[in-house]
């Protein structure tokens, strides 16, 4: 009987602590990976005859995004976005030189969420910024996408992390439509 009680206590401890363990693992991965970025093309970027439609651009300029979100987007997001996009492009070995043909990136924030309240922490924080992003050659629209910067870990909370995730989404989209580079 005693062994059965000990076994039941052990099983209940293990089953009740799985949420804490998975959260700890998720936070650890969050430290290494940072915020996430995803994008969805809404128009343009036609493959057709041009397999890499962004291949002629060697300069990427990020203009200030406008806020169309019902919630105010912190100025930090706009301030950090150009730097983070440049860093992400550099990681992907996409040239970004001052005198090259320019692709202008502009957009509008359409949704912003932070996990500032205690109730937002019940299942772990979930923060995101969603933007409608346009890619322009001069005044001509090359493509348009919805880009999302997202964080689900406490270590990645804050507007600068959401800007980092949004930059990853933008850089991933550019990389997908840019000629493959050799290492």
Q: What are the residue boundaries of the structural domains of the chain, listed by start? A: 1-33, 35-176
Q: Report phi then psi at 54, rounded to 5.
A: -100, 5
C-alpha dihedral, 177 to 178 to 179 to 182, nearest 10°: -120
121 or 26: whose pLDDT is higher? 121
pLDDT of 17 reads: 55
pLDDT band at 12 (very low <50, low <70, confident <90, very high): low
* 124 vs 77: CA distance, rounded Å: 22
**61-73 tens-digit pLDDT:** 999 999 999 989 9
pTM of the predicted protein model: 0.76
- The SS3 call for residue 46 is coil
- The SS3 call for residue 155 is helix
HSE-CB for 154 with a 13 A CA cutoff: 12
CATH number of 35-176: 3.30.160
**23-46 tens-digit pLDDT:** 544 444 444 455 667 777 777 766
* 43 vs 136: CA distance, rounded Å: 12
């Amino acid at each position: 009987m005693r062994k059965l009680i000990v076994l039941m206590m052990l099983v209940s401890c293990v089953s009740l602590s799985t949420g804490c363990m998975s959260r700890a693992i998720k936070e650890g991965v969050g430290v290494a990976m940072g915020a996430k970025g995803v994008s969805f093309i809404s128009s343009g970027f036609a493959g057709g005859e041009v397999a890499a439609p962004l291949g002629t651009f060697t300069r990427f300029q990020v203009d200030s995004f406008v806020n169309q979100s019902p919630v105010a987007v912190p100025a930090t997001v706009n301030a950090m976005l150009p730097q983070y996009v440049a860093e992400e492009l550099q990681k992907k070995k996409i040239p970004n030189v001052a005198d090259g043909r320019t692709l202008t990136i502009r957009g509008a924030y359409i949704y912003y969420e932070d996990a500032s309240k205690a109730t937002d922490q019940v299942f772990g924080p979930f923060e995101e910024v969603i933007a409608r992003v346009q890619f322009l050659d001069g005044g001509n629209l090359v493509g348009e996408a919805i880009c999302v910067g997202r964080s689900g870990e406490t270590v990645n909370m804050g507007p600068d992390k959401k800007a980092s995730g949004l930059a990853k989404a933008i850089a991933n989209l550019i990389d997908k439509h840019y000629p493959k580079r050799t290492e």
